[in-house]
């Protein structure tokens, strides 16, 4: 029988906080009809053009099947283009289209509003410290 209290459950605490923060970003980004995960994908593709599916999955710390599911609406709406490329023309490379760059530019204002709201509620220094610790955890 599980006897630990949720207040001592690291996984529960992190997942609960992630859901809470995601809801805040979803509320802001919904104005431009993009999810926080899709925003992260188009941001990554803007920083690193022509990533392969495997590279993007690794950068996003996502299973490839989950990435494919999240990418489908971006591909259908023409925000992201998937083409065979690489030395053997067998690697699926993802590129942000002009429409994708425009969507990202539009979404950035809403993402910044979500970022500002989170930092106002949580504290700017505490948010920076939290980010550092979370990135430290995922870089190990």
Q: Give me the chain's average pLDDT, please.
A: 91
Predicted confidence band at 86 (pLDDT cuts at 50, 70, 90)?
Answer: low
**94, 81 contact by CB (below 8 A):** yes
Predicted confidence band at 30 (pLDDT cuts at 50, 70, 90)?
Answer: very high
Reply yes or no on whether the pLDDT at 89 is more than 80: no
List the alpha helices (DSSP H) in 3-123.
10-29, 36-47, 53-60, 64-76, 98-122
Chain position carrying tokens 């509003």: 113
Of the candidate ranges 19-23, 47-51, 79-83, 84-88, the one whose mean pLDDT is the lowest:
84-88
CA angle centred on 36, ends 35 and 37, rounded to 5°: 90
Report how far Cα 104 is from the mean position of its chain's Cα atoms: 12
**110, 32 contact by CB (below 8 A):** yes
Domains plus CATH for the chain?
Answer: 26-133 (1.10.10.10)
Which of 31, 42, 35, 22 minimizes the C-alpha distance to 118? 22
Q: Which residue has the higher pLDDT, 84 or 34?
A: 34
Percentage of the chain exceeding pLDDT 90: 75
Reply yes or no on whether the pLDDT at 107 is more than 60: yes
Predicted confidence band at 84 (pLDDT cuts at 50, 70, 90)?
Answer: confident
What is the DSSP-derived secondary structure letter of residue 8? G
């Amino acid at each position: 029988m599980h006897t630990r209290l949720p207040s001592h459950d690291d996984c529960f605490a992190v997942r609960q906080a992630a859901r809470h923060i995601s809801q805040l970003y979803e509320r802001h980004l919904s104005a431009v009809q993009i999810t926080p995960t899709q925003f992260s994908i188009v941001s990554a593709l803007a920083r690193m053009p022509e990533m392969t599916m495997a590279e993007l999955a690794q950068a996003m710390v996502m299973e490839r099947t989950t990435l494919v599911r999240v990418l489908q609406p971006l591909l259908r709406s023409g925000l992201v283009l998937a083409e065979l490329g690489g030395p053997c023309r067998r690697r699926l490379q993802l590129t942000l289209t002009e429409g994708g760059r425009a969507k990202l530019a539009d979404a950035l204002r809403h993402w910044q509003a979500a970022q500002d709201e989170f930092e106002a509620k949580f504290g700017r220094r505490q948010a920076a410290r939290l980010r550092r610790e979370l990135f430290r955890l995922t870089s190990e």
